Amino acid sequence: MFNKTMKKAQKISILLIITLMTFGLWSPRANAALSITTNNASNVGYDRAILSGMLSEGSLPINAWFEFGTNPNSFNLATSPTYYNSLSSNFTAPISGLSSTTTYYFRAIAENSQGRVYGNILSFTTSYNPNYYTNNINPNYIGAQPAITTNPATVISGNSAILNGFVNGNGLSTTAWFEWDTNTNFTNSTSQNYYGESMNSFNITLNNLYPNTLYYFRTVAQNPKGRVFGNTMSFVTGPMSYTNYSNNQFLSSDLRVNTNPATNIDNTSAQLNGLIVNSGTIPSDTYFEWGTTNSLGNKTEVISTGSLPAVRHANTINGLKSNTTYYFRAVANNGLVVKYGETNYFTTDNTNTVNTNITNTTNTTKNTPTITPVSQDERINIGASVIGSSFLPNNLFGWLLLFILILLVIVLAQRLFRPSPLRQEQVITQH
């Protein structure tokens, strides 16, 4: 009797799965892991490009966007997240305001209820801008464009460095200088100095730099025949240090900040999370900056992390608007340097609750922050959990499928482990 019942249950389960798949009520792909691919950029000009990506799998709805910048290890720019309620073969985002003849790196990002995933990193190089060079070239001048070389930086400390270069005026009056920045956009430049018509070495000292920071620089030279650029080089400033003369104690500064995803999000509040790593000996403070745009504008209460080597910082902000996207980042400050984590975002729940206690966006928000020390082992293994909450079904059909699978396992186990019946031999007794 039991065997007949189990056989019937097996047949019903198979028929149920076929029925669900036939009518589109269940699809294996619907609960597939979120997947995104970065595609090549298109329509690349001297100041703009179109970024492209592809959403291949994942539970809907999905938010997707792009991160980009001139450093593949630190994307400082991003497009606005776009809401997708269906899997699309590809999605695009135009970007503009780029620097000419500059290499940019980018990747696609997608986020849904399962979490956030990142696509592969690709790059493109903007073209030459013929309108960039505004200097007038006199064809009557006898001579040639200057020759310029960028040499390695020297005497590098926590807040300064000496930039070095070599220029040849090629027979014409020539000026030379340096362009520098934390990326290859080179928004900063030194003063332009005259170096004559022949070959000269030149240098200049940069001050007020950030410690433990990567800087790029290049030489620039100009004469009546035109403007030329030297090769791009880089250097990393050292840790900032000073001596506390009251007790002759040597102090050093080395801060790192990570902004972690927000949690406990509802219609009017959310918990902001960050990780502060202090490898130096100077006590630090931490807080969050947040707002409804990338400009942020709000700040949580500043709290002290002391000299703890690593802490998790959590702070719940209240008085938020429902169905609104907020941006935030973690910040650490030790009095010598301020370090910022990457900017993350979250969207509050969509409810009809009327918010009567909106936080003044111009003031510091006072809440109840917490600081949790991080052990050495935890610091080594900082990252997302391998097993998330998405393992369990999140809808009725998912639970139905799970029940069917369990039932099939029971049937299979019953068949595998059931003792084989002994063949009964008929004994003929002759009377």
More confident residue, 304 or 203: 203
pLDDT at 139: 57
Q: Under CATH, which number does the domain 32-125 receive?
A: 2.60.40.10
Q: Which amino acid is at 144?
A: A
pLDDT of 26 above 50: no
Q: How far apart, in whole angstroms, are the C-alpha atoms of residue 302 and residue 366?
A: 9
Q: Candidates 3.40.1790.10, 2.60.40.10, 3.30.1360.200, 3.10.310.30; correct CATH number of 147-238?
A: 2.60.40.10
Which of 112, 110, 10 is CA-nearest to residue 59? 112
More confident residue, 335 or 12: 335
Q: What average pLDDT does this structure show over 130-140?
A: 48
Helices (H), ranges, 206-261: none
pLDDT for the residue 329? 93
- pTM greater than the 0.95 cutoff: no
Q: What is residue 415's DSSP assignment?
A: H
Report how far residue 30's alpha carbon sits from residue 229's, in angstroms, rounded to the nearest whole number.
53
Lowest-confidence range among 99-103, 131-135, 180-184, 256-260?
A: 131-135
* pLDDT > 50? residue 80: yes
Per-residue pLDDT tens over the stretch 31-70: 557 788 899 999 998 888 999 998 877 667 788 899 999 8
**Residues 67, 95: contact at Cβ < 8 Å?**
no
Question: Residue 107: what pLDDT?
Answer: 94
Considering only CA atoms, which of 134, 131, 123 is closest in space to residue 46? 131
Q: What is the CATH topology of the domain spanning 252-380?
A: Immunoglobulin-like (2.60.40)
Using CA atoms, how far residue 225 sits from 173, 189, 221, in Å, is 10, 21, 11
- Look over the chain and give the mean of its residue pLDDT values, rounded to a whole number: 76
Contact 241, 199 (CB under 8 A): no
Tell me the three state secondary structure of residue 293.
coil
- DSSP letter for each residue of 185-216: T--EE---EE--SSEEEEEEEE-SPPTT-EEE
Number of neighbouring beta carbons within 10 Å of residue 423:
5
Tell me, what's the pLDDT at 31? 52
Highest-confidence segment of 138-147, 148-157, 418-427: 148-157
Residue 4: band (very low, low, confident or very high) from pLDDT cuts 50, 70, 90: low
DSSP three-state, residue 227: strand
H or E segment at 243?
A: strand 240-244
Closest CA to 190 of 208, 178, 207: 178
pLDDT of residue 252: 55
Higher local confidence (pLDDT), 216 or 411: 216
**DSSP β-bridge partners for residue 288:** 330
Q: Distance between CA atoms of 158 and 430, rounded to whole angstroms?
A: 109
Of the two residues 273 and 135, the one the predictor is more confident about is 273
Q: What's the pLDDT score for residue 428?
A: 46
State residue 191's pLDDT score: 86
* Stretch among 18-32, 135-149, 188-202, 266-280 having the lowest mean pLDDT: 18-32
Which phi and psi angles does 250 have, rounded to 5°? -85, 125
* Residue 410 binned pLDDT confidence (cut-offs 50, 70, 90): confident
Q: Per residue in 164-189, pLDDT tens? A: 999 998 888 889 999 999 998 888 88
Please answer whether residues 265 and 322 qualify as being in contact, where contact means their C-beta atoms are separated by less than 8 angstroms. Answer: no
Q: How far apart (Å, rounded) are the C-alpha atoms in residues 119 and 110? A: 8
Neighbours of 81 (CB within 10 A): 18
* Intrachain domains 147-238 and 252-380 with the same fold: yes
Listed ranges 12-26, 228-242, 260-274, 305-319; the one with the highest mean pLDDT: 260-274
Quick check: 383 pLDDT over 80?
A: no
b/e map 188-225, b = 16+ CB within 10 Å: eebeeeebeeeebebebebeebbbbeebbbbbbbbbbb
More confidently predicted of 6 and 248: 6
Percent pLDDT > 90 in the chain is 24
Enumerate the domain spans of the chain: 2-27+392-417, 32-125, 147-238, 252-380
pLDDT at 362: 32
pLDDT of 354 over the 50 cut: no
